[in-house]
Amino acid sequence: MSDYLEKIKSQISNIQPYRGKYADPIEGDFVVYTGPGQFKVPDKVVLGYIEGDGTGPEVAYAAIKVANAAVEKAYGRARKVLWYEILVGSKAEKILGSRLPEQSVDVLKRVRLFLKAPLETPVGGGFRSLNVTLRQIFDLYANIRPVKYFPGLPSPLKHPEKVDLVIFRENTEDVYMGIEWPWNSPEAAKVREFLRRELNINLRDDAGIGIKPISKFGTQRIARLALKFAVENKRRVVTIMHKGNIQKYTEGAFREWAYETARNEFRDHVVLEEELQQYGGQVPPGKVLVNDRIADNMLQQLLTRTGEYDVILAPNLNGDYVSDEAAGLVGGLGVAPGLDVGDFGMMAEPVHGTAPKYTGKNYVNPTATILALELLFRFMGWREAADLIIKGVSKAYAEGYFTGDLVRQMTEEEKKAVKEVLGTQEFAEKVAELIKEL
């Protein structure tokens, strides 16, 4: 790590650096899970963090500074985060000889809640994506991506202020499972032969094969999470995004099973679109509307009828498309956070990668990572701290403080509102300062 980053790290008092082998945290307690999705967060909580590769450490420490300011402002001395470094990625390879050492997996399993800055996936050489591996180890089945417009951000929309979405993307099934074979593999030949012989389906001999499984179990556990979020956070609508008109037994089933969860488990809190007639076409006060839209139509409606969308529930591939489209509406990758949630753990991460060409340049936007921690706090139940982070980021933009990636997208007119173009650390420090003043 560069001297510059060592210095930043040494200025953050509540970091517990890696101490050579697994050691219990010096201070603080781990979160305790008492059942699936049920946990208790101690007041002095140990949260893990993976520094990441490339620009990862720059955004990780920037975000930690902001998170610390928010916790201190919200709770004084009553609550504190102890950040516990976990070695994964190229730093782990250098020190421990493996990109995902077993001892790090052990620590992650104790910590359960952690920040992961972006990790590089080396091209070639048979490297598996560590991001995917981490999600699988912890069965983090929901990828949650909020997409919110902050006044001042560049946007291609006429009314970007209408963008306030939270996308729940299923994270373990669908094409993400990667069950596919090249056209000329023995496996593809076997599958084609099976289909021909057993089901009378004739495929061309040069057809590659992919399998897209979507299960009731997988659908309903993420539907439950999205609906619970919508109810608890008083959101307006949950829209099930699917391509069920074509793929009836995967995407169509996703739609059916999600509605079933809404009807069976959230009856008192939701109204389904088909029931609206009973209420004169209006959603009764205090209820969340549950509707569904076909994916292609929805992707264009997000541009033309932006304000109609709120919480979006999607299978893996649709969720991938819609979250990147949505991020593009409010400033792009630099401001797009994510939280991966499972029944026994949560991983906060920015959506972007390691942006290697900017490593050490103090250029990249830390907002995505800052907002990833905001989301983690929200799901931990530390809402006051989460709200302060949103207010701080919002205020920084409103007062004209931006990083270069955002300014680059602005029109000459929009640039007039820019007071200062800040580097990664300076932007985070400005947000932290604004939080303290709130």
Show the CA angle centred on residue 165, arms to residues 160 and 169, nearest 5°: 135
d(CA 391, CA 30): 28
Active site residue 259: no
What are the Cα distances from residue 79, in Å, to 31, 41, 73, 416?
A: 13, 10, 10, 40
CA distance 220 to 397: 38
Region near ligand NAP per CB under 6 A, out of 13-21, 163-171, 351-359, 410-418: 351-359
Which of 235, 255, 250 is CA-nearest to residue 298? 255
Active site residue 320: yes
Asked whether the beta carbons of 140 and 340 are under 8 A apart, the reply is: yes
Cα separation, 391 vs 64, whole angstroms: 16
- Span from 22-30, 148-156, 274-282, 350-358 in contact with ligand NAP (CB under 6 A): 350-358
Query: Could you give phi then psi for residue 135, rounded to 5 degrees?
Result: -65, -35
d(CA 362, CA 359): 7
Contacts of 203 (CB under 8 A, 6+ apart): 192, 195, 196, 209
Q: Binding ligand NAP by CB under 6 A: which of 28, 146, 334, 423? A: 334
Q: Exposed, middle or buried by CB within 10 Å (0-12, 13-18, 19+), for 94?
A: exposed
Q: Is 121 in the site for ligand NAP (CB under 6 A)?
A: yes
* Identified catalytic residue from 9, 73, 91, 243: 243
Annotated catalytic residue within 53, 292, 320, 405: 320
The secondary structure of 252-320 as a DSSP string is HHHHHHHHHHHHHHSTTTEEEGGGGGGGTTSPPTTPEEEEEEEHHHHHHHHHHSGGG--EEEE-HHHHH
Distance between CA atoms of residues 164 and 167, nearest Å: 10
Q: How far apart are CB 309 and ligand NAP at their closest, in Å? A: 24
Q: Rounded to the nearest whole angstrom, what is the least distance from the CB of residue 263 to ligand NAP in the complex? A: 35
C-beta of 404: minimal distance to ligand NAP in Å? 8
Nearer to ligand NAP, 156 or 208 (CB): 156
* Annotated catalytic residue within 24, 43, 106, 296: 296
Task: Write down the least CB distance from residue 131 to ligand NAP, Å.
Answer: 4
Tokens of 240: 């099930």
Q: CB of 187: closest distance to ligand NAP in angstroms?
A: 26
Nearer Cβ to ligand NAP, position 252 or 353?
353
CA–CA dist 76, 63 (Å, integer): 19
Decide whether 67 or 258 has the Cβ nearer to ligand NAP: 67
**Which pair of structure tokens corresponds to residue 262?**
């809404």
Instruction: Pick out residues in 123-142 that bind ligand NAP (CB under 6 A).
Output: 131
240 binds ligand NAP (CB under 6 A): no
Catalytic site residue 309?
Answer: no
Within 112-213, residue ranges assigned H as helices are 130-137, 186-199
Q: Which two tokens stand for residue 353?
A: 């990668």
- How far is it, in rounded angstroms, from Cα 438 to Cα 434? 6
Residue 40 is among the residues annotated as catalytic for this protein: no
For ligand NAP, the closer of residues 295 and 355 by Cβ is 355
Site string for ligand NAP, 380-419 (x = CB under 6 A): -------------------------x--------------
| Number of residues engaging ligand NAP in binding (CB under 6 A) | 18
Q: Does position 333 bind ligand NAP by CB under 6 A? A: yes
Among 365, 385, 423, 432, binds ligand NAP (CB under 6 A): 365
Among 192, 293, 352, 430, binds ligand NAP (CB under 6 A): 352
Choice among 18, 61, 176, 397 that is catalytic: 176
Nearer to ligand NAP, 14 or 365 (CB): 365
Among 87, 209, 270, 364, interactor with ligand NAP by CB under 6 A: 364
Which lies closer to ligand NAP via its Cβ, residue 129 or residue 233?
A: 129
Residues forming the site for ligand NAP (CB under 6 A): 118-121, 131, 333-334, 349, 352-357, 364-365, 368, 405
Q: Active-site residue numbers?
A: 176, 243, 296, 320
